[in-house]
Structure 1
Amino acid sequence: MSLTNKDKLYSVIQQAVIDELQTKQLTLKNNETQFVPVSISARHVHLEKKHADILFGFNHRFEKFKDISQPGQYSCVEQVTLIGSKNEIEKVRVVAPLRKQTQVEISMTDARKLGVSPPVRHSGDLKDSAPIKIVGPKGSVDLKEGCIVADRHIHMSPKDALAFNVSNHQKVKIEINGQKGGIMYNVTIRISDRYALDMHIDTDDANAFGVSGKEKLKLLK
């Protein structure tokens, strides 16, 4: 490497260190007023291509119902029915785009109604998760695994993570005000350059703490 190239590299590294230190200093000054927006995730289904073809027909084009908080993701007009050993739940929305593996996300209340026993997991962690049946307008799919209760989590970009001084998969606490307020424990930090800052909780957690989905909640370490 030439001296000129080395100088350029050192300059880039030096600036990156300075930027990070400045960010951390700003974080230390503002660590008492760090708030994150929150969204409430109702039951929904992510589909892989093979299962989408079975449920809705070959190469079905899903219609957007509305955007959700994460870039490029949206809930669809299309809906399915979930069937467990005890009961069924109709009108469960599909969330697009398609994924590598079909995933069903429900609450503990939904699980009791359906008669299934899903584990609490990160999205995508589906090994040995609960079986469930999905019924669409064109056919049905019997999943051997794929049904979970999503853990409480906060999506962050790397820049957000620096500002909040947290690391990927770190567990944090969230303070909630209001008549049913309290401290929500075991909230997982999830960091990616594909993420927008947003906390996701399910309907059970929202109801338990009186969260409407319009608040900004305080992050505690």
Structure 2
Amino acid sequence: MIESDSCPDFLVCVVTEGQVEVRRNGRSAVVSGGAFVLMDLAAPFVFDAPTRFRQVVVRVPGRLVEGRLPEALAARVTARAFDPADDGASAIIGRVLTDMAATELPAATAVPFASSAISMLSATILESAPIVRPGDGYRAQDLARIEKVIADNLHDADLTVSDVARLSGMSLRNLQILAQGAGRTANGWLYEARIERAKHLLATTGDPVATISEYVGLRDVSHFGRLFRKQVGTSPGRFRTG
């Protein structure tokens, strides 16, 4: 199944009842009792369960993992059980994802909640897994902190990259260097986040385009439309209907 539909996304599987053995590339892990496992959809894997089991599965776009976790580290932590018995943070992540999956959230609330959950997940993995190269973990933690600050403040039309740097506890220069290392500019990073949230709101709500523009911190709907078209290749209205 995975070989026929490979993609750069990840699955986070929280096993809430029963027990599952996960195998991938010669690595195996037993997952049970609220533990979770991270799976890379770009490669095949096997779930082997001797009895019935229940799980919560969350699909995380690969682009949201990039920058939060060093690539070499992400490759090493797939098919590895993050067990609440070994790490309290893993227990929290399991409960958060399980509760979110069972709760209907308004789109305007769901987006920042989802972003925070991904940041928490990344922080848990960074804390629990070995760092591959010196410095990688610190860079990933900085990137995750910046992503969270942006996600939490996108509604603020006055938010600038200087504000993001200050709220992230770093200098503007360090923020610019991190952005450059991720293949973007600091301003572009902020605008990309606004448009990504707008895409989600357009797809999941019936709110007017002007209202969504305000939700993502862009007061001028014409400016919002131009930015959206530049990044997505179509207008907000056509994106919603097409």
Q: TM-score range by the shorter chain?
A: under 0.3
**TM-score if structure 1 supplies the norm length?**
0.24
**TM-score if structure 2 supplies the norm length?**
0.22
More strand as a share of residues: 1
Whose Rg is larger? 1
| Structure number with higher relative contact order (C-alpha < 8 Å, ≥ 6 residues apart) | 1
More helix as a share of residues: 2
